[in-house]
Amino acid sequence: MSLPDPQALSRETGSRRKAGVEAMFDRIAGRYDLLNHLLSGGTDILWRRRAVRELRLRPGGVYLDLAAGTGDYAFTMLRREPGCRVLAVDLSLGMLAKLGEKTRAAQQTGQISRIRGDGERLPFKPGSLDGLAIGYGIRNFPDKRQALLECGRVLKPGGRLAILELAGIPNPLLRSLFGLYFRFVLPMVGRLVSGDSMAYRYLPASVEQFPGRGPFLAWMREAGFIDARAAELSGGISTLFLGTRES
């Protein structure tokens, strides 16, 4: 089977992008967690913890982990607030299967519900969720503005949104150094560990296609997030976008 060109996939739109992304995550699901922690040196764990603090979880609350993948954001939420419930939505059945294995191992099947779905068309009623998290997922959505409108639609007034993303590094020196890591180290380690260099060449290509903090924050405001703002984590290697659904 020939794999799509990663640059082309990062520029693809609509259902073709979704199908390519879904197939790619299905292929790497088994090695995703290991590579994630390896390639970020474990800092992804700290970034998710920081983001979860901002969600201000409460017992009995229902939270969405959108583009949940293997569920590291969902598990971080449950560690912080064991009394909440998490709905984990993702396009890739392979990633959701891995999440299922982890949920059973952690004996948290009663607290995490897995749902195959598309972030641009969420299967929830308006104003039905207490908070919403997206970890390194929205970069892959063809229509990010539409996904943000959906986030605004499904959240209750006052509900918090915390999006982690690789949104480009503002500091030119750090950006150049990271560019080398992204172009050379990441695809090589990705290929050695997962046998799939395409996915790890797609990653930097998709970061390049991200619209930038300014336009993204404007879309958040348009979707009803009154205090939309971006916090740079580890010098901007990761960005945390935060907002509260207006009342």
Ligand X SMILES: C[S@@+](CC[C@H](N)C(=O)[O-])C[C@H]1O[C@@H](n2cnc3c(N)ncnc32)[C@H](O)[C@@H]1O
Instruction: Report the interface residues with ligand X, using CB under 6 A.
Output: 18, 21-22, 25, 36, 67-69, 72-73, 89-92, 95, 118-120, 135-137, 140-141
When the beta carbons of 16 and 157 are compared against ligand X, the nearer one is 16
The residue nearest ligand X at its CB is 69
Residues 49, 53, 56: CA angle, nearest 5 degrees: 145
How near is the Cβ of 150 to ligand X at its closest, in Å? 10
When the beta carbons of 31 and 246 are compared against ligand X, the nearer one is 31
How near is the Cβ of 247 to ligand X at its closest, in Å? 27
The answer to whether the CB of 232 falls within 8 A of the CB of 245 is no
When the beta carbons of 238 and 244 are compared against ligand X, the nearer one is 238
How near is the Cβ of 200 to ligand X at its closest, in Å? 11
Category of 211 on φ-ψ map: left (φ > 0), alpha (ψ -120 to 50) or beta: alpha
How near is the Cβ of 59 to ligand X at its closest, in Å? 23
The answer to whether the CB of 47 falls within 8 A of the CB of 153 is no
When the beta carbons of 3 and 246 are compared against ligand X, the nearer one is 3
When the beta carbons of 25 and 219 are compared against ligand X, the nearer one is 25
Inter-residue long-range contacts of 98-105, CB under 8 Å, 24+ positions, other chains counted: 98/29, 98/30, 98/32, 98/33, 98/69, 98/70, 98/71, 99/68, 99/69, 99/70, 99/71, 99/74, 102/70, 102/71, 102/75, 103/71
How near is the Cβ of 172 to ligand X at its closest, in Å? 26
